[in-house]
A and B are shown apart, each in its own frame.
Chain A
Amino acid sequence: MEIESIKKNRLKMKSKDKAMSTNKDHKDETQIQIRFITKQQQYAIPDYPLSVHSSIITDELNTLVNELLRESNDIQDQVEFDFLICSQFLRSSLIEHITDREISTEDVIDVEYVEKHPSPEPKDCLIHDDWVSAIAVCGKWILTGSYDNMLHIWTLKGKHHLVIPGHISPVRAVAWISLNDDNASFVSASMDQTCMIWSWDITKNSVECIHICKGHRRSIEAVSINYDKTLMATGAWDNMLYIWSTSTQEDDDDGESASKRARSEYANKTKTPKCAMKGHKQAISGIVWSDKTEIITGSWDHTIKTWDTELNGIKQEIYGDKCFFDIDYSPLSRVVIAGSADQHVRLYDPRSTEGTIVKARFTSHTQWVTSVRWSTIDEHLFISGAYDNIVKLWDTRSPKAPLFDLLGHEDKVLSCDWSNPKLIMSGGADNTLRIFKSNYVER
């Protein structure tokens, strides 16, 4: 496979900075006192302040820490660390970093070091017939929705398991509802203005459309299942946010006769929304459940809204200045990242009401960022896929540069998924689903 995850231009930086440092060695540099701290116990070193010259860079710090480790812990292997000063990754020289953040050079600076995130590796490439616009991973199954109106089920190993026709327009979003050993159900949302809830008998490998959710008047853009898998929310171009029940059985508590039910079998199949929420002025492009009764939506009308499903109303609004194409909420860090109609990924904190609304802006993409996903296990990590054919792995503590660029796509990246912590997946307009292996280290 030609896919390669290359390191950020760190190597380049290294060589350059080395050259610089050698130059600076000759001069008498100001010394800065630092203290190394870490949260990773296995790499703990005694925390006495060290005096280093101010233009020290990451690599030099790295060798320094490694030296110290070797002295104390008898760890012989070279371990690569990243250094955080004021919860921001050190990407330039120490003095620049400090002056940028206006930290006094008189005090002892705490330098936190963490083991460097290992580079993801390209693992697989699943070829579809058309654009891959939706991905959902659950267990060992990958569900993809495509622009040829089909749903595909693949195994994690990359084996094509099932193709499901049913929609009459491109599928824009998919989500798993439940998964057992022999039975599963999932939902797909399409531009044909319907959501379909499917029941999949794994053993028989037969799939059946249980419900067709009708109600949206334009193409559905996003679908999200709540934590206990009983509700799902959909957003569409008709500006409406609908909440549906996901139960496969029609939970009509009224005692309708069986005959009536039979008669209206088709009618039963169609589902109507449990509740409709109006508020957005334009298409809803991203939905995520942030709590049991709370939905966060991102829309083309430049707003991110927090909805209360019990009150059926808007709890909070965040105004951006660009259309939002996708949002994701991390229960770990409780913040929202959003991809919008520019090159930036923005981090919003829905809880804060003061200060700048945008908590951080991650700039490296050159085109629209159309999909963002948090890591499910690390509060700092997320991925973003953009129309510049690149999926980027970010650490929130490094806003200027991503950790890794995941190259491989030959056309626009339309969707990505990181629900399986080990696998980063992205679907694009080059008709492929790319799978990258994320060698995550527990910190």
Chain B
Amino acid sequence: MHVFVPNLICRVKILFNFEKMGQKRVSKRKYVNPKLKENKNETEKDVHVSHNAKNSDMEDLIAAQINVDEDATDDEVEEDVVISSSDEEVEQDKVIFDSDDEVEQDEDIFDSDEDNDSEEDNDSDEDNDDSDEVNDDSDEVNDDSDDVNDDSDEVNDDSDEDNNDSEDIQSENSYEEVQEDSPIKSKDDKLKNKSKSSKSLTFKDKTSTKKTAPVINKLKNNKNHKNFDKAQMHKDAHNEQKTNVSTANDEDEYVYDSSDEEDIRNTIGNVPLQWYNEYDHIGYDWQGKKIPKPEKGDELDNFLKRMEDPNFWRTIQDPQTGQDVILSEADIDLIVRIQKQKIPDIQFDEYAPWADWFTSEVMKTPLRKFPEHKRSFLPSKNEARKVSKLVHALKMGWMKSTAEMQTEREKDKGPQFYMLWQSDDQAEEMRRIHKHIPAPKRYLPGHAESYNPPPEYLFDNKELKEWDKLKATPWKRKLHFIPQKFNSLREVPAYPKYVKERFQRCLDLYLCSRSLKMRLTIEPEVLVPQLPSPKDLQPFPTTMFMVFKGHTDMVRSITVEPEGQFIASGGDDMLLKIWEVNTGRGLKTVPCGGVIRSVVWRPNQAMSLIVVAADKKVLLINPGVGDNLITSKTDQLLEIIPQSEIIVSDRVQSAVQWEQAEGDHWNNGVRIILNHFKTVKQVTWHGKGDYFATVMPDGQNRSVLINQLSKRRSQLPFNKSKGLIQCVLFHPIKPYLFVATQRNVRVYDLVQQIMIKKLLSNSQWISSMDIHPGGDNVLVGTYDRKMLWFDLDFSKEPYQTLRLHGTGVRAVAFHKRYPLFASGADDRALIVSHGMVYNDLLQNPLIVPLKRLCNHESYNDFGILDVIFHPIEPWVFSAGADFTIRMYT
């Protein structure tokens, strides 16, 4: 850009208007053809050469300033060049736009661009101030400059004026006057401003390009745009050459070569030229020598010059150097063309034939190397969606087509009636309606209604009397009229009751029912499944027959000897008590040294052992009841500690240690002690009696331990903690382990070591569970009052959810032989239910709640803590928080 600015600016002040646009154009041209830069440099050289020494000095001076100022702009432009080169089309369009009628264009652009306007205004304001100060009488100049800087509206005005009388010398004179009167300083200022404004203009243009896209499109029709550009460039070069020619005879043409530091001819810096008004020089040249002011004649000289010099009208002063410059023919032409609002370039053919950038013809090889996108062949989905919406709306009747709307509107015009009862001709249609009742038919008229009835129908006196008698109750009459005889039909009068009868008929139809409706009445009792009466499901425990008293604190756990002769219980009083079932006698008491949370008798009778969970210890106790031989054998067996070379891992070692009981413990019946690292909440035996599992809910990933009695070894079946484990149970037949966490029950195959099933309880907290002796059904009790019956073959969801208790269920138990299960809860109730499991897989288990036994007393809001069935008899034991165990039979 910097190449062009001085060229054009240095010419004349007159050109300001034009130049402003020209600059714009130039800059744009530059976007378009950055390659031209080199050429321009060359031409520019020429330009410099063509000026005479003084002029060129001045030129250089001013241009330098501009250059300084415009560095930034330059950069911007350069950047833009880079950017724009990639975006040729757009830039192209912009050029087109510029080349077109500038008046309207600019209007549009500037109006739309307020920000730039305001910026400009500021500039112009300054400008105004300056010019006011400096030169009051140069109104026109000011006006001009204002115009230039303000907005293009005034430019238009000016240009209009110019257009009107472009050939008028008056205007030239005025220009001259301006030239003379306006001091250099002010000119300088203006130049500065101009540079600024040009900057802003470029900026403006850049923005405007974006905003004027539609305009551009419109302008695309102009086929000349390309040609115009080219022509323009040529023209410029041509002009330069011409100028060159005109000033070729100046002696200081080759004094210096300013190709490097082009514009530095006047070195006074950025000072207004009017400061030099009092001096006879206007600045300093490169070597520091004064640049002398060009000689200025007085008015007379001027006049003479005007009279004599045929070139006077085309002589202008270079504001920078003060030199007179004679405009060449080409320059004049240019100015004239601009004033006429024609394209400045003469050679530019506005109506050159249109050459498509992209032809409409299908080329054999595509112009662009990427293939057409697939979606260009596909129908628009978006539109399809919209259409389908409309179609749907039409189908649903939400929307109506215009034709329909029309018919509807027409329909609305007339009065509307509701067809009370379709006439007989539509009976066919009505028959389709279920249980339709046709409208009652009127009786056909009989002989009595004839105008000429047989004489026997006519009333005699007696009948008339009767008719009169029934006046109060006319509906009792046989006929509702008196038959009358007329000689001819002509004599028959109008029927007086016609309207009344019609109305009655309408009422009848209106109030009549039109179709038979069958109402389906379902009694709620029918929906309830037929459950057998509890009487038919005997035997089950019905009454309390025994209370085992002896504990001094809550009884937390009970267990029954497999034979059913004894039970063992333990609780908060840290004592294990063994009771005789049939008498309720406490036979033995074993102190366990900890709160007993779980007591389980060994299921296999080969050894007599009870496993007791007392706080962190698990005790294996030989109760010494039952078969003497077995108890003594058990003792013998447990005296020997089996030796094994298997090294116990640290993980297990830190979780549990086996210890042989000695001393008092041994005498009390304790045989083996397992010291756990956390409180043991539950213990359970495997059916064969060699393995037992212990549960420590706080043990995280070591919360379940499986202990082998014969080898005195413990294993940790799980590496990962699946949650707070509540209880575990061994499957009665298969090698499965049921693990109940707070919410779910997981079933693991211990042989394959995989999880087989996960039962979802859908409840907050599982408290206990028991497995049906068949192994296919699991009963789970939860603290949120529910009991869940899971059928393992059925689903992982509960087969049935029983809400029998008012509070959290503490314990659930199945009977081993009878189809019974029981549950105990904090509401003190022990609920015995019938739970029949059929061998037939198609038949679902039958669950019938049978009996609610509520004999325990509440203690600290605890009711029943454990429930267990007698192994053989249909008796159930419940351990209560009221220190007792109760037996129901």
Question: What residues on B are CB-neighbors of A367 within 8 Å?
Answer: 545
User: Which parts of A301-356 form the interface with B (CB within 8 Å)?
Assistant: 321-323, 325, 341-342
Q: Given the complex of chains A and B, what is the CA–CA distance between A282 and B562 in angstroms?
A: 12
Q: Does A58 reach chain B (CB closer than 8 Å)?
A: no
Distance from B434 Cβ to chain A, minimum over Cβ atoms (Å) = 58
Q: Given the complex of chains A and B, what is the CA–CA distance between A147 and B583 in angstroms?
A: 11
User: Which parts of A386-425 form the interface with B (CB within 8 Å)?
Assistant: 387, 412, 414
Judge whether B627 and A238 touch: CB under 8 Å.
yes
Question: What residues on A are CB-neighbors of B546 within 8 Å?
Answer: 368, 387
Closest chain B residue to A217, Cβ basis: B627
Question: What residues on B are CB-neighbors of A285 within 8 Å?
Answer: 582
Q: Does A436 reach chain B (CB closer than 8 Å)?
A: no
Judge whether A192 and B628 touch: CB under 8 Å.
yes
Question: What residues on B are CB-neighbors of A217 within 8 Å?
Answer: 627-629
Judge whether A341 and B889 touch: CB under 8 Å.
yes
Question: What residues on B are CB-neighbors of A136 within 8 Å?
Answer: none
Give the residue of B539, B583, B627 whose beta carbon is less than 8 angstroms from that of A414.
B583
Q: Given the complex of chains A and B, what is the CA–CA distance between A366 and B22 in angstroms?
A: 125
Judge whether A218 and B626 touch: CB under 8 Å.
yes
Q: Given the complex of chains A and B, what is the CA–CA distance between A323 and B626 in angstroms?
A: 19
Q: Given the complex of chains A and B, what is the CA–CA distance between A341 and B628 in angstroms?
A: 27
Judge whether A429 and B583 touch: CB under 8 Å.
yes
Q: Does A237 reach chain B (CB closer than 8 Å)?
A: yes
Q: Mark A120-148, 1 if CB is under 8 A from B, else 0.
A: 00000000000101000000000000010
Judge whether A237 and B628 touch: CB under 8 Å.
no
User: Which parts of B579-631 form the interface with A (CB within 8 Å)?
Assistant: 582-585, 626-629
Judge whether A193 and B585 touch: CB under 8 Å.
no
Question: What residues on A are CB-neighbors of B889 within 8 Å?
Answer: 341-342, 368
Question: What residues on A are CB-neighbors of B584 within 8 Å?
Answer: 412, 429
Q: Which of A193, A218, A285, A429 has the most CB of B within 10 A?
A: A218
Q: Does A199 reach chain B (CB closer than 8 Å)?
A: no
Q: Does A375 reach chain B (CB closer than 8 Å)?
A: no
Distance from B877 Cβ to chain A, minimum over Cβ atoms (Å) = 14
Q: Does B872 reach chain A (CB closer than 8 Å)?
A: yes
Judge whether B545 and A341 touch: CB under 8 Å.
yes
Q: Does B153 reach chain A (CB closer than 8 Å)?
A: no
Question: What residues on A are CB-neighbors of B563 within 8 Å?
Answer: 218, 237
Question: What residues on A are CB-neighbors of B151 within 8 Å?
Answer: none
Q: Does B123 reach chain A (CB closer than 8 Å)?
A: no
Q: Does A219 reach chain B (CB closer than 8 Å)?
A: yes
User: Which parts of A349-395 form the interface with B (CB within 8 Å)?
Assistant: 367-368, 370, 387
Question: What residues on A are CB-neighbors of B872 within 8 Å?
Answer: 282, 300
Q: Given the complex of chains A and B, what is the CA–CA distance between A285 and B580 in angstroms?
A: 14
Closest chain A residue to B872, Cβ basis: A282
Give the residue of B539, B545, B585, B629 whose beta carbon is less than 8 angstroms from that of A368.
B545
Q: Does B258 reach chain A (CB closer than 8 Å)?
A: no
Q: Does A283 reach chain B (CB closer than 8 Å)?
A: yes
Question: What residues on B are CB-neighbors of A192 within 8 Å?
Answer: 628
User: Which parts of B18-33 form the interface with A (CB within 8 Å)?
Assistant: none
Question: What residues on B are CB-neighbors of A342 within 8 Å?
Answer: 889
Q: Does B121 reach chain A (CB closer than 8 Å)?
A: no
Q: Given the complex of chains A and B, what is the CA–CA distance between A341 and B874 in angstroms?
A: 11
Q: Given the complex of chains A and B, what is the CA–CA distance between A60 and B565 in angstroms?
A: 52
Q: Does B324 reach chain A (CB closer than 8 Å)?
A: no
Distance from A313 Cβ to chain B, minimum over Cβ atoms (Å) = 24
Q: Given the complex of chains A and B, what is the CA–CA distance between A36 and B739 in angstroms?
A: 76
Give the residue of A283, A341, A368 whose beta carbon is less than 8 angstroms from that of B565.
A283
Judge whether B565 and A219 touch: CB under 8 Å.
yes
Distance from B316 Cβ to chain A, minimum over Cβ atoms (Å) = 138
Question: What residues on B are CB-neighbors of A147 within 8 Å?
Answer: 585
Q: Given the complex of chains A and B, what is the CA–CA distance between A157 and B415 in angstroms?
A: 120
Q: Does B873 reach chain A (CB closer than 8 Å)?
A: yes
Q: Given the complex of chains A and B, what is the CA–CA distance between A323 and B545 in angstroms?
A: 13
With A192-B628, A218-B626, A429-B583 known to touch, is A237 a contact of B565 (CB < 8 Å)? Answer: yes
Judge whether B873 and A341 touch: CB under 8 Å.
yes
Q: Given the complex of chains A and B, what is the CA–CA distance between A321 and B538 in angstroms?
A: 10
Q: Mark B531-564, 1 if CB is under 8 A from A, else 0.
A: 0000000010000011000000000000000011
Q: Given the complex of chains A and B, what is the CA–CA distance between A4 and B546 in angstroms?
A: 26
Q: Mark B171-191, 1 if CB is under 8 A from A, else 0.
A: 000000000000000000000
With A192-B628, A193-B628, A341-B873 known to touch, is A387 a contact of B565 (CB < 8 Å)? Answer: no
Judge whether B629 and A387 touch: CB under 8 Å.
no
Q: Mark A204-223, 1 if CB is under 8 A from B, else 0.
A: 00000000000001110000
Q: Given the complex of chains A and B, what is the CA–CA distance between A414 and B628 in angstroms?
A: 25
Q: Given the complex of chains A and B, what is the CA–CA distance between A315 and B480 in angstroms?
A: 98
Question: What residues on B are CB-neighbors of A414 within 8 Å?
Answer: 583
Judge whether B545 and A387 touch: CB under 8 Å.
yes
Q: Given the complex of chains A and B, what is the CA–CA distance between A238 and B545 in angstroms?
A: 24
Q: Mark A226-241, 1 if CB is under 8 A from B, else 0.
A: 0000000000011000
Question: What residues on A are CB-neighbors of B628 within 8 Å?
Answer: 192-193, 217
Q: Mark B852-889, 1 if CB is under 8 A from A, else 0.
A: 00000000000000000000110100000000000001
Judge whether B582 and A325 touch: CB under 8 Å.
yes
Question: What residues on A are CB-neighbors of B626 within 8 Å?
Answer: 218-219, 237
Judge whether A218 and B627 touch: CB under 8 Å.
yes
Q: Mark A277-315, 1 if CB is under 8 A from B, else 0.
A: 000001101000000000000001000000000000000
Distance from A38 Cβ to chain B, minimum over Cβ atoms (Å) = 42
Q: Mark B675-693, 1 if CB is under 8 A from A, else 0.
A: 0000000000000000000
Closest chain B residue to A323, Cβ basis: B873
With A238-B627, A282-B872, A367-B545 known to touch, is A412 a contact of B583 (CB < 8 Å)? Answer: yes
Q: Given the complex of chains A and B, what is the CA–CA distance between A282 and B584 in angstroms?
A: 19
Q: Given the complex of chains A and B, what is the CA–CA distance between A218 and B546 in angstroms?
A: 23
Q: Which of A133, A325, A341 has the most CB of B within 10 A?
A: A341
With A237-B563, A282-B872, A429-B583 known to touch, is A321 a contact of B627 (CB < 8 Å)? Answer: no
Q: Given the complex of chains A and B, what is the CA–CA distance between A321 and B539 in angstroms?
A: 8
Distance from A434 Cβ to chain B, minimum over Cβ atoms (Å) = 18
Question: What residues on B are CB-neighbors of A412 within 8 Å?
Answer: 583-584
Question: What residues on B are CB-neighbors of A325 within 8 Å?
Answer: 582
Distance from B669 Cβ to chain A, minimum over Cβ atoms (Å) = 15
Q: Given the complex of chains A and B, what is the CA–CA distance between A392 and B628 in angstroms?
A: 37
Question: What residues on B are CB-neighbors of A282 within 8 Å?
Answer: 564, 872
Closest chain B residue to A283, Cβ basis: B565
Question: What residues on B are CB-neighbors of A323 within 8 Å?
Answer: 873
Distance from A284 Cβ to chain B, minimum over Cβ atoms (Å) = 12
Distance from A134 Cβ to chain B, minimum over Cβ atoms (Å) = 12
Q: Given the complex of chains A and B, what is the CA–CA distance between A76 and B618 in angstroms?
A: 79
Q: Given the complex of chains A and B, what is the CA–CA distance between A322 and B582 in angstroms?
A: 13
Question: What residues on B are CB-neighbors of A237 within 8 Å?
Answer: 563, 565, 626
Distance from B483 Cβ to chain A, minimum over Cβ atoms (Å) = 74
With A131-B585, A192-B628, A321-B539 known to touch, is A218 a contact of B873 (CB < 8 Å)? Answer: no
Q: Given the complex of chains A and B, what is the CA–CA distance between A219 and B561 in angstroms?
A: 14
Which B residues form the contact surface with A (CB < 8 A)?
Answer: 539, 545-546, 563-565, 582-585, 626-629, 872-873, 875, 889
Task: A131-B585, A300-B872, A387-B545 given; name 6 further pairs at CB < 8 Å.
Answer: A170-B585, A219-B565, A237-B563, A238-B627, A323-B873, A325-B582
Which 10 pairs between the two chains have the least Cβ-Cβ distance? A217-B627, A341-B889, A237-B565, A368-B545, A193-B628, A218-B627, A218-B626, A367-B545, A323-B873, A217-B629
14 A-B contacts (beta carbon < 8 Å): A131-B585, A170-B585, A192-B628, A193-B627, A217-B628, A219-B565, A237-B565, A237-B626, A238-B627, A325-B582, A341-B873, A368-B546, A387-B546, A429-B584
